[in-house]
């Protein structure tokens, strides 16, 4: 199996899980949009942003470092059980402490988020999701580290289904007041589903010595710190941006911006999440070989750009239809925001392997620096463009921010391992951005009916080019299942 096929196969099952989660997530979003409108969606966005921020802060990247440590010690059963015990206890303790603090300061948090203490009961209910997130992330790390991909996939699918059903019922019965229960239900369902599959692994309880506990805890924290700090900064700046939008415009604007951001990140985020599971271990194994790292990064970017560019062009062309379908007509004012945001998101495909390569080389300070500059800069650009152009300026900040992020990451990788793009990557990138740029200007400067009609032809042409590139260059036939008698080699 060639390297491209290996990337595609390894990413397939994780991508399938992501699709299921997205589908049921969109069903939940549609329910909120219909039942409580943009205001309710804005309230959900503020609750959700706060919970994600605190959850990110509380675990400090332990979920990601846990996967590596568990996988690394999987052949030594005695120490593996001790490693899992330390990992679970650490995740549990920090999650409980964060939950208690959130409950104790619920009135102040409500005041900070909603400019009113009236939401403090909702903050208390939602605070338990901090605990649920910590436990479920820890359990997913165990499944991932022990290579129980089937259990990992099914647990997340089951959690998404159950959580969606309960959440829709809660919002239907209680309206806006049911939003905290909706968030609570989704978090609890993920804990239950992941707990069941971890339990089936029959992991023995092995209590480590104090020396072993300190040693393993140090490793977990040092490995996760780079991802953790960057994640914390991203969550904090996301929180500040939503808060700024609330104060500058209104809570409906937060809902529209959140919906636009979700759609623009939907497709590419799924691809990158799936590919990320396979990329980091492969990079870590060859971290001392700059030539091999260069090859892996280029291959990841080549395949990623081919697959992702299709979604970028589709979102550019069909963004008003997608907004109306997934949310409601009330959200159509976010069409231009999506189009600017998805231009920025397209650059994530190129910058994503750079970030993993930087961490694989152990350059966590550089990784944190690049991430910090991007998220802080993106927020400052949001403020700038909103002041210059008002609501119509939202989304431009995302595109400009990602240009800077890509250039910073590229410069860092050139310095760290002498990165240079392959000729094939340059060709793919040029072709992809000709179609992406064409679709963008078509949608901005022509009437909607014309842009959708011509855009559809543009998308079909682009898909055909991508299909033949995947088949001829990478030996990946995405239509093989529809061809009678065709078998995977």
Higher pLDDT pick, 485 / 13: 13
At residue 383 the predicted structure's pLDDT band, cuts being 50, 70 and 90, is very high
Q: What is the DSSP string of 70-133?
A: HHHTTT-HHHHHHHHHHHHHHHHHHHHHHHHHHHHTHHHHHHHHHSSGGGHHHHHHHHHHHHHH
Query: Residue 481 pLDDT more than 70?
Result: no
Higher pLDDT pick, 367 / 489: 367
What does the DSSP 8-state code read for residue 334? G
Check the CA dihedral 233-235-236-238 and report its sign.
Answer: positive
Give residue 163's pLDDT. Answer: 77
What does the DSSP 8-state code read for residue 484? T
Give residue 489's pLDDT. Answer: 38
pLDDT tens-place string over residues 424-466: 999 999 999 999 999 999 888 888 888 888 989 989 998 888 8
Give residue 251's pLDDT. Answer: 78
- 370-to-116, 225, 385, 466 alpha-carbon distances in Å: 35, 15, 22, 31
pLDDT tens-place string over residues 336-352: 888 898 898 889 888 98
SS3 content of the chain, % helix, strand, coil (to 5): 90, 0, 10
- Most confident of the ranges 230-244, 299-313, 393-407: 393-407
φ and ψ of 469, to 5 deg: -65, -45
pLDDT tens-place string over residues 10-59: 566 666 777 777 777 777 777 777 877 777 878 877 888 888 888 877 88
The proportion of the chain whose per-residue pLDDT surpasses 70, expressed as a percent, equals 92
Q: In this structure, what is the dihedral angle of CA atoms 56, 58, 64, 65, given to the nearest 10 degrees?
A: 150
Give residue 231's pLDDT. Answer: 77
Q: In this structure, what is the dihedral angle of CA atoms 192, 195, 199, 200, given to the nearest 10 degrees?
A: 70
d(CA 177, CA 126): 12
Give residue 405's pLDDT. Answer: 95
Query: Residue 319 pLDDT more than 50?
Result: yes
For residue 217, give both structure tokens: 């805890």
What mean pLDDT, rounded, does the chain reach? 83
At residue 410 the predicted structure's pLDDT band, cuts being 50, 70 and 90, is very high
d(CA 235, CA 335): 24
Query: Residue 400 pLDDT more than 90?
Result: yes
pLDDT tens-place string over residues 255-282: 888 788 878 777 777 777 777 766 776 7
Task: Domain ranges for the chain, please list them.
Answer: 1-239, 249-489
pLDDT tens-place string over residues 112-161: 888 888 889 989 998 999 999 999 989 988 887 777 777 877 887 888 78
């Amino acid at each position: 199996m060639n390297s491209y096929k290996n990337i595609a196969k390894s990413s397939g099952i994780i991508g399938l899980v992501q699709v299921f989660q997205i589908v049921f997530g969109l069903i939940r979003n549609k329910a909120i949009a219909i039942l409580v409108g943009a205001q309710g969606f804005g309230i959900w966005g503020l609750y959700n942003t706060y919970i994600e921020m605190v959850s990110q802060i509380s675990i400090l990247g332990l979920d990601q470092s846990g996967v590596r440590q568990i996988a690394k010690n999987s052949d030594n059963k005695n120490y593996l059980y001790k490693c899992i015990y330390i990992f679970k206890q650490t995740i549990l303790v920090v999650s409980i402490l964060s939950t208690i603090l959130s409950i104790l300061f619920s009135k102040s948090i409500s005041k900070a988020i909603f400019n009113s203490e009236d939401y403090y009961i909702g903050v208390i209910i939602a605070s338990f999701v901090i605990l649920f997130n910590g436990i479920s992330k820890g359990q997913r790390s165990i499944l991932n580290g022990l290579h129980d991909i089937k259990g990992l996939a099914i647990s997340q699918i089951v959690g998404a289904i159950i959580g969606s059903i309960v959440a829709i019922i809660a919002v239907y019965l209680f309206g806006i007041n049911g939003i905290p229960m909706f968030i609570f239900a989704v978090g609890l369902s993920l804990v239950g589903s992941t707990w069941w599959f971890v339990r089936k692994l029959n992991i023995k309880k092995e209590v480590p010595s104090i020396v072993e506990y300190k040693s393993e805890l140090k490793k977990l924290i040092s490995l996760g710190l780079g991802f953790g700090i960057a994640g914390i900064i991203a969550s904090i700046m996301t929180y500040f941006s939503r808060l700024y939008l609330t104060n500058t415009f209104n809570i409906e604007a937060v809902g529209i911006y959140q919906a636009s951001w979700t759609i623009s990140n939907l497709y590419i985020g799924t691809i990158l999440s799936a590919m990320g599971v396979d990329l980091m271990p492969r990079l870590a194994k060859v971290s001392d070989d700059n030539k091999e790292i260069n090859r892996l990064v280029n291959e990841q970017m080549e395949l990623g750009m081919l697959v992702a560019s299709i979604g970028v062009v589709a979102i550019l062309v069909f963004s008003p239809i997608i907004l109306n379908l997934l949310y409601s007509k009330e959200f159509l004012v976010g069409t231009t925001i999506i189009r600017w945001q998805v231009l920025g998101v397209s650059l994530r495909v190129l910058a994503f392997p750079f970030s993993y390569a930087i961490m694989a080389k152990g350059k966590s300070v550089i990784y944190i620096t690049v991430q910090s500059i991007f998220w802080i800069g993106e927020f400052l650009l949001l403020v700038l463009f909103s002041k210059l152009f008002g609501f119509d300026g939202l989304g431009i900040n995302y595109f400009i921010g990602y240009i800077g992020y890509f250039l910073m990451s590229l410069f860092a990788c050139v310095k760290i391992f002498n990165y240079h793009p392959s000729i094939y990557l340059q060709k793919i990138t040029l072709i992809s951005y000709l179609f992406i740029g064409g679709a963008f200007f078509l949608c901005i400067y022509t009437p909607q009916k014309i842009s959708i009609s011509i855009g559809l032809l543009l998308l079909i042409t682009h898909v055909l080019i991508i299909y033949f590139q995947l088949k001829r260059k990478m030996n990946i036939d995405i239509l093989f299942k529809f061809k009678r008698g065709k078998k995977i080699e």
